[in-house]
A and B are shown apart, each in its own frame.
Chain A
Amino acid sequence: MERPDRGKSSRLLKNQPYDESLEVTDPEEVASVYSRGPVPTTGLCDGLQLPLSCQSESRRSRAGPGLMSANSSSDEFEDDHKLQKADQPGGSPDEEDEEDEEDSDEDTDDDDDEPGPAPEGAYDPAEYSSLPVSTEVKELFQYITRYTPQTIDLDHSLKPFIPDFIPAVGDIDAFLKVPRPDGKGDGLGLLVLDEPSVKQSDPTVLSLWLSEETKQHGATELKKVASVVSPQSNPRAVDSWVDSISALHRSKPPASVQYGRPMPDIDSLMQEWPAELEELLGRLQLPPARLDCSLTQYADLICSLLDIPVYGSRIQSLHLLFSLYLEFRDSQHFTRRAHT
């Protein structure tokens, strides 16, 4: 890529008066070309790319004079042009012959270590010099090289590489932690990470449950009922509250009834019968429901059989009776026995 480029550019340099004239228009500019020269030759720049870089440098440096000549009138430009010609060896003020002399100038140019900036395919008047045209047209053609196109310096803009978003992983345990008050080791940060478990009790539910369990009602006035900010978007919070409250209710004994008279507790009622009775029951049938007696008499009968006292009204006794029934029904111990 590089080689042919250079070959071409040096060839193209021939007969490019505008190009050459620019290079020396302003001595200051020329100096700046050299001062900038070393910049691209950093350690990272490999040899092959060096000529290219010089090209770009010199192209840029030409922008100044290019603009100047464009602003100047054509006459001024020609004066300029002639002046430079005179400065150069073999230069001739005769414009008509200019094309011929360019050949000799071109060589010195190459020696000046000024690689041609003309890109591939640039206009080359030499290509057209052999056109069979009248003198009048040939004169007309002079207008083409009379104008030197400006070298427009374009801006660059670095579009900065914006990094990806950065996730946070947190810091590492620095062992700046409070030990257990009882002096025992807790293994936090060693055996397990020192972080709370994802399953945390709901304080409201737990305190309700604690007061229920310890029968310390009112000791803790309900701290505060949490509210869910936007329930429609956060159904999980609502569901978990409903679940835990219903679990709490399930764990409660069925609405406790304060019996007016002393009653035995369920536990004692659940005790085994004496062995004789047990044996007897194996042989005897319990009084069936269709026994020829009133419902109240039947209730009294069953209660006495199960050691439940009856005082006047049977309501409280029956409550205890059914509580006892539920207790047996829900007991895993007895359900399992029933199945085997």
Chain B
Amino acid sequence: MLRILSRVKPAVGGETPVSLSEKKKKNKTKVPRLEEYLQQRDYLGALTLLEFQRSIGEKEEHADLWIGYCAFHLGDYKRAMEEYKSLTINPECPAEVWVYLACALFFLGLYKEAEDAASKAPMSPLQNRLLFHLAHKFNDEKRLMGFHQNLEDVTEDQLSLASIHYMRSHYQEAIDIYKRLLLQNRDFLALKVYVALCYYKLDYYDVSQEVLAVYLQSIPDSTIALNLKACNHFRLYNGKAAEAELKNLIDISSCSFEFAKELIRHNLVVFRGGEGALQVLPPLIDVIPEARLNLVIYYLRQDDVQEAYNLIQDLMPTTPQEYILKGVVNAALGQEIGSRDHLKIAQQFFQLVGGSASECDTIPGRQCMASCFFLLRQFEDVLIYLNSVKGYFYNDDTFNFNYAQAKAALGNYKEAEEVFLLIQSEKIKNDYIYLSWLARCYIMNQKCQLAWELYLKMGTSSDSFSLLQLIANDCYKMGQFYYAAKAFDALEKLDPESNYWEGKRGACVGIFQLILANKESKETLKEVVPLLRNSGNPQVEYIIRALRKWAKDNRVLLS
């Protein structure tokens, strides 16, 4: 699909004397023309040629403008800016150079300077488009509408409008424009890639892939297209498949190729699950919008909630991804430092995303609603949303931890126990929330011994003390008096100041009752006596006397 190279008019100004022999000998390359480099989009070659000609005094007509043009399309906006800046100093400089300078400044992110430069340029469609995009960057709706009205029904203006739709997440509107233009001109293959980008953003990765294939068929080494292909692979398959695509791109590009280098480095970190994030992402934070979000995700995965918060607190969320991430960070921080304000923000952001038309039926949207209700402690609602996506998260520790808690909170201890036991993460398994809920599930499911073992495995801490209280009281409630008595006994030893006698007394008598009802072995009575003796209460002897009397009558040996 590459256009036929037009060599009719030599683009090179000062014709270099080409010897007769060179014309004859086919294997010998001659000095190439600028046009050939441009057709190959070898802008580095074109720049080198222009500079060389400049240095030997054979100047192309408008050599400065050509250098600016090449640097700009190479993506070296700094170089383009410098070139145009030096041109504007010249009093004879054509006025439209100002808008070129403004374009270069725009891509350098220097929006204010870009606006100043654009204002010095004569009115033109390019100037209007630039001001239109600047108004978008400045969030100036009023001016945006003004420049929007100046747009005409010509290809460039319509494409510029479509790109604004894309940036505002109005993907369908953008697709409509591209499809209309494609109907008018089937040669506009690049538009296929724009459509594919929109479908990618709409999560239609396979459709995106199909449309993209058309472009890649004619231009197999396109950086933007191959990167998009890798991203589709990441979403459709996994990071490995995506990385393979990027590797392919890296292998075919020459060493001097700098374009999109940051994008590729950024995405390699993404595809490798965050490997190298701290080296690669920080310098890209204001270059690639996703870099900040990914660094936040990286910190969250490292449990560095504070760093994550520092990075995202000033971000004004606009996309669902940004809202979700802000919600997640606020939820994590709010729970860590016990701040109701953060939890409130988190809950609101989750509700906003989960309730939005575009996200309510996506997995992240459902997760948001579940999180929102979890923070509100409305667990029956949490379960509705988690149940709707649980097929996607069978082995996901995070999901199972939340899911089991919701089940347990609703008294569904059997299923809760099963789900708690699916969790693999050592960190969660050592979390007191996990231990206490699992212990409660065990006890409610009549497996008090397992709960007791959880306690035995814990070191002495305030958490293990709390767990003992849980075991003592929940076991008591369930009539599992043996472990209730043991737990009260342990509490008594750990905390002699408090009075656990009443519970221990009840539990010990409860064991006795269970023995009488043949629900506990008579041998257990032997353990009851020392348990009682550990307490100094005057009632101890009275109870022991009663126990001994029964033991004697029933010929049970009590040491």
> Which residues of A pack against B, CB within 8 Å?
1, 5, 39-40, 42, 44-46, 49-50, 52-53, 55-56, 59, 70, 73-74, 118-124, 127-128, 131, 133, 136-137, 140-141, 143-147, 149-152, 154-182, 186-203, 206-207, 210-211, 213-214, 216, 219-220, 236-237, 240-241, 251, 265-267, 330-332
Contacts and interface: CB of A to CB of B under 8 A. Distances in A.
B263 A44 contact: no
B452 interface: no
Contact of A203 (B256, B324, B412, B546): B256
B476 interface: yes
A166 B321 contact: yes
B422 interface: no
B413 A119 contact: yes
A156 B256 CA distance: 55
A286 B28 CA distance: 32
B73 A167 contact: no
Contacts of A144: 481, 506, 509-510, 513
Interface in B50-88: 51-52, 55-56, 61-62, 65-66, 68-69, 72-75, 80
A158 B222 CA distance: 44
Contacts of A133: 516
B48 A157 contact: no
Nearest to B53: A210
Contacts of B247: none
Contacts, number: 397
A195 B223 contact: yes
B159 A192 contact: no
Give chain A's interface secondary structure class.
Answer: loop
A44 B537 CA distance: 54
Given A178-B100, A198-B221, A167 B231 contact: yes
B187 A122 contact: no
Nearest to A120: B444
A194 B255 CA distance: 20
B223 A162 contact: no
A201 B45 contact: yes
Contacts of B106: 176
A236 B160 contact: no
Given A124-B479, A189-B190, A210 B49 contact: yes
B419 interface: no
Contacts of A170: 197, 224, 227, 260, 263
A189 B133 CA distance: 17
Given A121-B478, A201-B42, 13 more contacts: A52-B412, A73-B499, A144-B510, A147-B502, A149-B477, A159-B401, A165-B273, A189-B159, A195-B222, A200-B74, A203-B48, A214-B31, A216-B56
Contact of B130 (A118, A147, A176, A190): A176
Given A121-B444, A121-B446, A158 B371 contact: yes
Secondary structure at chain B's binding surface: helix, strand, loop or mixed?
A: helix
B476 A123 contact: yes
A195 B41 contact: yes
3 tightest A-B CB contacts, nearest first: A123-B479, A201-B45, A147-B506
B222 A193 contact: yes
Contact of A146 (B163, B198, B224, B506): B506
B440 A154 contact: yes
Contacts of A120: 444
A202 B163 contact: no
Nearest to A165: B270
Contact of B221 (A59, A154, A176, A197): A197
15 contacts: A70-B503, A74-B502, A119-B477, A137-B516, A144-B513, A155-B436, A157-B335, A158-B375, A160-B346, A165-B294, A168-B231, A171-B167, A173-B194, A196-B73, A202-B44
Nearest to A331: B25
A72 B494 CA distance: 20
User: B30, B188, B301: which has the most chain A beta carbons within 10 Å?
Assistant: B188
A104 B29 CA distance: 109
Contacts of A236: 255
A44 B381 contact: yes
Interface string B21-44: 100111111110000011011111
Nearest to A151: B473
A169 B200 contact: yes
Nearest to B54: A220
B164 A214 contact: no
B166 A207 contact: no
Interface string B164-204: 10110000001000000000010111110110011011000
Contacts of B44: 196, 200-203
Nearest to B375: A158
B249 interface: yes
B331 A214 contact: no
B543 A140 contact: yes
B367 A156 contact: no
Contacts of B446: 121
